[in-house]
Structure 1
Amino acid sequence: MGIFIQLLIDGLSTGSIYAALALAIVLVNQATGMINFAQGALAVLSGYIAFALLNAGLPLILAILGSILISFVIGAAVERLLIRRFERGDPDTAVVVTIGLLTLITGVCAWLWSYNNRIFPSLFPNETLELLGAKVSLRSLGTFVVIVAIMGLLQLLFVGTKLGLALRAVSINPQSAAFSGMPVGRLLMVGWGLAAALGAVAGVLVAPQLTLTPGMMDNALVYALAAVILGGLTSPVGVVLAAWIIGVLENLAAVYIPFIGHDLKVVVPFLLIVVVLVVRPQGLFGRKAVVRV
């Protein structure tokens, strides 16, 4: 029983990392209708910005807050100067642009800071406590709590605020939103800025666990995209729950299904995705899109 609880807790902790990126992807999609494959690279850049501010003498909490603020500006600038030229165009072109942006940002991070592993301090103490026979890391518990708080705030943003409703309106029909007097351009910039700021949170949560490297978010991005597909693009709560499901299931499968083991555990979430897409294409928590013809 202790082993099962340990695997469950570790899976929730790992899933929280996936959830942070998945929420940023959902935020961009809700604001612009695009899937941002560069979200992981933006999170890495945010981590390096926090690392640079830390080395400049700022306390850890101020370095993280500064990174979040700078990341918001970078995200807004990327949308204004690059992405806007491809929004509402061919979706395939937009995908290629975000993949190219991922490669560019990763290369810039490697050029400025090299591929050497950098040690980034954790915001939470590196201690453990006993829970039903399992050891729970306070860092993992802190990450879990942060993601739950972000999930709630993001859900509140989209459902209960004028800004969130405006972002959704712009995503669904930018022309009608513009005719209604909404500042479409500024809303798109805000959407990308908020997603980049959320990516900064993901970066500073992941860096202490994986060490800071240009490619540290590559695997996490794959799982985050899987969580987005499984949970549904329209539901922040859904993608977080899906990320936790993925984290827990791959841990349990690695231990309790012998022919899978740790080498093939990555297959588990993708098999689950195939099943979900066949039964419920909009994801477990997503809404069906109704198109009038």
Structure 2
Amino acid sequence: MLQVIISGLITGSLYSLAALGLVMIFKTSDIVNFSQGEMAMFNTFIAFTLLTSLKVPYFLAMIITMVFAAVMGLTLHRIVIKPLEKAPLVSSMIATLGLIMILNGLAGNLFGFDTKQFPKMFSGKNVEFLGVSVDPNSILTIAVTVVIMLALFYFFKYTKTGLALRAASQNPEAAELMGISVNKVITLTWIISAVLSSIAGMLIAPTTFLDINMMADIHLKSFSAAVLGGFTSFVGPVVGGLILGISENLFGKYVSLSWKTVFAFGLIIVMLVIKPNGILGKTYRKKV
């Protein structure tokens, strides 16, 4: 059981990482970025090209990919989302659905439609402790996720930019009156979200495969993790991702592996019925 739980923590941490990007954009602009998974996939192909074709060292390739992801997030926001800021929210969401097709087709034509094996950072033997066998790359996944979570916690809690982002997410009008540029905050959230998606993609690809559809299942489950934990909380996606990862692994091990994904989404439906705002979600009331 401990092996299954550890494996669930590893998977859940990836769900949490991807879900955080979704929640950041949603809290500042009320937009659900359905193209988050495709952004992760495209950036992972960039990392793959750097590692295999250009022979860039692993750590440097990750840094370059994150920079590319930041530019992508900035570009997509300025070109696609910002012109629609006066339009109904559904227009922006439909635009992100369109980005799915654009990024998917662009990646296929640039990098190919064949499945590829993404190189691992470590190729050593598994680490054994308490009867549990863990791949070194899985330990890296947990370590990177923990560091990112702590960095984001510090950013939101103790930096002026992080406080501005929290203020804009809670009350954009009041934030504007206090001198905070909400437009810049929203742009920043798209940049951070894109970087988080690129990291998630680079951590997921070595454990599965790399092709244009690699993030389809992960993206749906990261969205589910955000719903489970609460879309109105920055901590919620982390909690939701870990719970989802552990619970679906336990179900797959002791009940049915083929019904594991069905169970994961069934869990979300049950949560929406019992607690519509998620485990840590809050209900905000507005006076009209």
Same fold by TM (over 0.5)? yes
Uncovered stretches (5+) of structure 2, i.e. residues with no partner: none
Between 51-60 and 216-225, report the one with greater CA deviation. Answer: 51-60
Query: After the TM superposition, which residues 17-96 of structure 1 pair with which residues of structure 2 at under 5 Å, given as runs?
Result: 17-54=14-51, 55-87=53-85, 89-96=87-94
Higher alpha-carbon deviation: 199-208 or 145-154: 145-154
1:217 aligns with 2:215: yes
Question: How far, CA to CA, are the matches of 2:169 and 2:239 in structure 1?
Answer: 24
Work out the CA distance in 1 between the residues paired with 2:86 and 2:265.
Answer: 29
- Cα drift, residue 155 of structure 1: 2.6
Q: Could you tell me which residue of structure 1 aligns to residue 11 of structure 2?
A: 14
Shift of 1:289: 1.3
Q: Is the 8 A contact 1:19 1:243 kept in 2?
A: yes
Q: Which residue of 1 aligns with 2:247?
A: 249
Q: What is the match of residue 183 of structure 1?
A: 181
Q: Distance in 1 between matches of 2:81 and 2:94?
A: 11
Partner of 2:128, secondary structure, is strand
What TM-score, normalized to structure 1?
0.91
Q: What RMSD, in angstroms, separates the aligned Cα atoms of the two structures?
A: 1.8
Contact 2:30 2:89 in 1 (8 A): no
Letter in 1 for 2:204: V
Q: Which moved more, 1:161-170 or 1:106-115?
A: 161-170
Distance, in Å, in 2 between the alignment partners of 1:9 and 1:183 is 42
Aligned residues: 287
Unpaired stretches in structure 1, ≥5 consecutive residues: none
Alignment pair present for 1:279 and 2:274: yes
Q: Paired residue for 1:290? A: 285
The separation in 2 between residues aligned to 1:158 and 1:286, in whole angstroms, is 18
For the residue of structure 2 that corresponds to 1:205, the secondary structure is helix
**Deviation sequence 1:82-116 (CA, Å, 0-9, x none):** 11122364222222111111111011000101111
One-letter amino acid of the counterpart of residue 283, structure 1: G
Q: CA deviation at 1:146?
A: 1.3
Deviation of residue 237 (structure 1)?
Answer: 2.6
Once the two structures are TM-superposed, the CA of residue 274 in structure 1 deviates from its matched residue by 2.2
Letter in 1 for 2:278: G
Instruction: Say whether the 8 Å CA contact 1:227–1:239 is kept in structure 2.
Output: yes
2:150 maps to which of 128, 149, 152: 152
Classify the secondary structure of the residue corresponding to 1:266: helix
